[in-house]
Amino acid sequence: MKIPFRGAPVAPLDPALVAPMSTPARPELTGGRRIGVLVQHGFTGNPVSMRPWAEDLAARGYAVEMPLLPGHGTRWQDLNKVTWADWVATVDSAYEKLAAENDAVVAVGLSMGGALCLRLAADKGDGLAGICIVNPAVDTLRKDVKLLPVLKHVVPGFPGIANDIKKPGADEHGYPTTPLRAAASMFAGYAELRKDLPRITVPVLFFRSAEDHVVDISSSRALNAGLSSKDFEERVLEDSYHVATLDNDAPRIFAESAEFIERVTAQQQG
């Protein structure tokens, strides 16, 4: 990479491809109760990375809200116009809709989407039945992140992080550039989230890829050290990279998350 990197060419994404998803509950498939699931994509990504999971959940009878985060799904430059607070507000709005229409709510997320689920769990407490997170980002070992507050004023972006997928032919249609203003805001949000991890007491199912070229082991260490959840399990994915929801372990994630959702929503009712 040469400095200054001005960003990859602009290639607007098809709005239909990255559209959010909203489906009602089908209580006849879930024991008569209405169960809602908030599904959240990650940084520089969009609902493409989560759509197969969201569709699997909907087919099982769960209400699904899968929002498109502000600044995503259009052009990477748009991401530099929004902040962590905007993404938190979007997730909160989706949660409130699900909570108003259903008997119980679970949140699932990938990467930064996982961090936003953790943020929601810290803020809502027992309002959530549980969260399921895949390769969530809450920390990093990268030293250059400390330079983001300065670099964001010098260059608009660095080369992108999209498509860290082991499975041939898979494409998450993420941005080709990582916008630095947005990244700086995200990492500041992570720092605040790490302080609040002890506030999280709801059940947590955590999937982590053994080989991940985007999120390193520091996030796993932070969760294991910080969470107060007594019902916490970390499961390692051996055949997927970062975007595991589109990778070889996706069927496992879908099946095991459904078991988790069924269990924790029944416990909440109990």
Which residues carry out catalysis?
Answer: 111, 212, 242
The phi, psi pair for 140, rounded to 5°, reads -155, 150
Task: Quickly tell me which residue has 């660095």 as its tokens.
Answer: 158
CA-angle at 194, arms to 192 and 198, nearest 5°: 115
Write a three-state SS string for 3-68: CCCCCCCCCCCCCCCCCCEEECCCHHHCCCCCEEEEEECCCCCCHHHCHHHHHHHHHCCCEEEECC
- Reduced to 3 states (helix: H, G, I; strand: E, B; else coil), residue 259 is helix
Strand partners, 108: 39, 132
Tokens representing residue 207 in the block:
């999937």
- Reduced to 3 states (helix: H, G, I; strand: E, B; else coil), residue 179 is strand
Nearest Cα neighbor of 30 from 56, 62, 53 is: 62
E strands along 90-203, which residues? 104-110, 130-134, 157-159, 177-179
